[in-house]
Amino acid sequence: MFTTPPEIIKLALKRHREPWNWTFHCAALVGLGATMLTQSYLLLASTLILFGVGLFELNMPEMQDNPWLRFVKRMVEWEKNWIAYPWTFYKCWRLAVTVLVACVVIWAFWTREAAVIGLLIGFAYLIKVVRSNKENEIDL
């Protein structure tokens, strides 16, 4: 039986939406950040293995209800909604900004620029505060 690339992508997305698989992919992202900071090939190999494990069908028990599981479910739902949203200027703009920020983060980690990493953490916290203020209807 032959498997076509779209079927493989559909299967990977289906498995990626499982809580354990999503957890492995998040751990791989953290490992990728540590890999770029340390520039270690061993850490890169373990990160790639972690990411690959997240693509398999894992026969693990159901996760118990905890803050991480609720976060994973919210993020999986957000991801499904984002994929289903039509390609508009706003979606393209958000994707372009996200790719640009990801490139800056990768560059900062690879070159070990502590000032840029600190600025990125500061901007991320500032965005969190602004969103929190908007949710609480605080207007300055």
Q: Give the separation between CA 71 and CA 12, rounded to whole angstroms.
A: 20
The continuous run of DSSP H or E covering 135 comes out as: helix 114-135
pLDDT of residue 112: 87
Which residues 6+ apart lie within 8 Å of 27 measured at CB?
Answer: 50
Under-70 pLDDT residues of the chain: 1-3, 8, 140
Mapped onto helix, strand or coil, the DSSP state of residue 87 is coil
Q: Give the separation between CA 40 and CA 46, rounded to whole angstroms.
A: 10
Mapped onto helix, strand or coil, the DSSP state of residue 77 is helix
